[in-house]
Structure 1
């Protein structure tokens, strides 16, 4: 075969490979730009800020958008909330406000590429970097907090689990709609058809990390979750060796466990946050 043809074939293969890397970042992370409401729309005071994030994981440098909803008391427990894919601060405002109403000071972020964050295509590496930046900022805002929690929803659960491995002064971990790995979710969503699941670069391997975490943990999952099957959340729960509790909420969808059973959800959060005995 002529050398020129080999070069063309090689170039085509490189383009296919690059296209696959971009495609899986779009499909798995699914960055949303929706921004419509803030806590002020609900009469809740808050402040916002921006954190400069360096380049990482094929994502260019950009800014992380931060909301901070303080509690009346500086000694109140505080939680850093990490949302999932196809979400933003605005789309998850109901959950964020519910955490605040449960008695917590709340910090929440939009990773690069989400919401008002600079228009970047995020990656697994970049969202991990953004979460670490947010945790450092969170600690600076909560010097007197009685407890500090991480709450990750959906993809945010995997980000929270990764962050919890190295986050100083973390007292408890809450994961909502969690999963074992991105490949397991892909196999579920494609009925085991997707052969490329083994080639995923955006892996989110929570199953390989959860066992090393020893802080108290709360696992929340709706039994009718149409995105992340409850079986994946239960499998991850079974791998944890820490003090733990599982809250399975009958019915409810992937994004609204807190609304499907507000009182059990609130009570479980207040207990792990030290606001109620349990």
Structure 2
């Protein structure tokens, strides 16, 4: 009887201990999940760094720009992507789908859009959801890819001739442009006829590579980060002519990243390193080299 009573007490004690361990494990799992959620939230905030409102240097929308609200499905509702369409005065001009980088909405991008328009392009430019007048909350890698696809769908109706269509991305927008071009290259948009070329300025190989360049090169950040933007893997699948431009004095994204993207891209490609160019002024400083590359690579 003593052995049975002892065994019973030991069994009850073991059950209570197992119950406490299970409770602690469940609580730990919950805290870990909450921590990961908060970490992912912070990661997205740091990735997109959205500045709300109108850029201080914005002087108003140029004459001839039309505004659109492009619908995009989100869960059980419809959100909208705000877009500008600035057609060239020249009929049959080439056109650019403009995908901007982090921080500034369209009002902070007008100077670069103006430069592309001055080059002779019609320009369709969008704000991702969470930026400017677009709907939505904090963006993610997935939502900006969806927004680029919605913009591409509109772009193909505005510019029916695939030989006139180009995709342009600056900085983080370069990663979004590469992703879109890679999906077009896989035949996901064969019915629309594809694009004539891809232009990537001041961009990077992956978000983890950028993070490592700012911290410690040996950290396995690609395993920890939820936002990948793995452009160097995708650009090899882009079967379009590719123009890659970078300023040699870029303090935010070193030009070596563009050199690595260029090395990974297929054969029909050009790399333009603008001597003295910063993260934002390479199109202005390198205007002559830009025009030359357009002619040599795209025939326009």
**TM-score, normalising length: structure 2:** 0.83
1:12 — aligned with what?
Answer: 31
Partner SS for 1:166: helix
Tell which deviates more after alignment, 203-212 or 33-42.
33-42
Question: Contact 1:99–1:106 (CA<8 Å) still a contact in 2?
Answer: yes
- In 1, Cα distance between equivalents of 2:292 and 2:87: 20
- In 2, Cα distance between equivalents of 1:264 and 1:234: 17
Q: What is the CA distance between 1:7 and its match in structure 2? A: 3.1
Q: What is the CA distance between 1:44 and its match in structure 2? A: 3.5
Q: What is the CA distance between 1:270 and its match in structure 2? A: 5.2
- Answering whether residue 74 of structure 2 is matched by residue 55 of structure 1, we say yes
Question: Contact 1:112–1:120 (CA<8 Å) still a contact in 2?
Answer: yes
**TM-score, normalising length: structure 1:** 0.89
- In 2, Cα distance between equivalents of 1:39 and 1:68: 17
In the alignment, which of 93, 115, 120 is matched to residue 76 of structure 1?
93
In the alignment, which of 189, 197, 209 is matched to residue 184 of structure 1?
209
- In 1, Cα distance between equivalents of 2:271 and 2:115: 19
1:99 — aligned with what?
Answer: 116
- In 2, Cα distance between equivalents of 1:54 and 1:73: 35
- Answering whether residue 245 of structure 2 is matched by residue 216 of structure 1, we say no
1:116 — aligned with what?
Answer: 133
1:139 — aligned with what?
Answer: 156
Query: 4+ residue runs of structure 1 moved beyond 6 angstroms?
Result: 37-40
Where in structure 1 are there 5+ consecutive unaligned residues? Answer: none
1:151 — aligned with what?
Answer: 168
Aligned residue pairs total 272
Tell which deviates more after alignment, 188-197 or 34-43.
34-43
Structure of greater relative contact order (alpha carbons < 8 Å, 6+ residues apart): 1
1:234 — aligned with what?
Answer: 259
Measured against aligned partners, the alpha-carbon deviations of 1:99-148 in whole angstroms (never above 9, x if no partner) come to 00111111100000111112411000100000000001011111257511
Question: Contact 1:66–1:108 (CA<8 Å) still a contact in 2?
Answer: yes
Where in structure 2 are there 5+ consecutive unaligned residues? Answer: 1-16, 185-192
Give the CA RMSD over aligned residues. Answer: 2.3
Q: What is the CA distance between 1:198 and its match in structure 2? A: 2.7
In the alignment, which of 249, 252, 266 is matched to residue 274 of structure 2?
249
Partner SS for 2:183: coil
Pair 1:145–1:209, CA change in 2 (3 A): closer
Question: Contact 2:69–2:80 (CA<8 Å) still a contact in 1?
Answer: yes
Measured against aligned partners, the alpha-carbon deviations of 1:54-99 in whole angstroms (never above 9, x if no partner) come to 227xxx8522110000011331111101001112211111110000
Q: What is the CA distance between 1:195 and its match in structure 2? A: 5.3
1:174 — aligned with what?
Answer: 199
Computing the radius of gyration from Cα coordinates, the structure with the larger value is 2
Q: Which has the higher helix share?
A: 2
Partner SS for 2:35: helix
Pair 1:5–1:152, CA change in 2 (3 A): same
Pair 1:255–1:180, CA change in 2 (3 A): same
Pair 1:108–1:152, CA change in 2 (3 A): same
Measured against aligned partners, the alpha-carbon deviations of 1:164-214 in whole angstroms (never above 9, x if no partner) come to 123342010000012111100110122437554431111011111111112
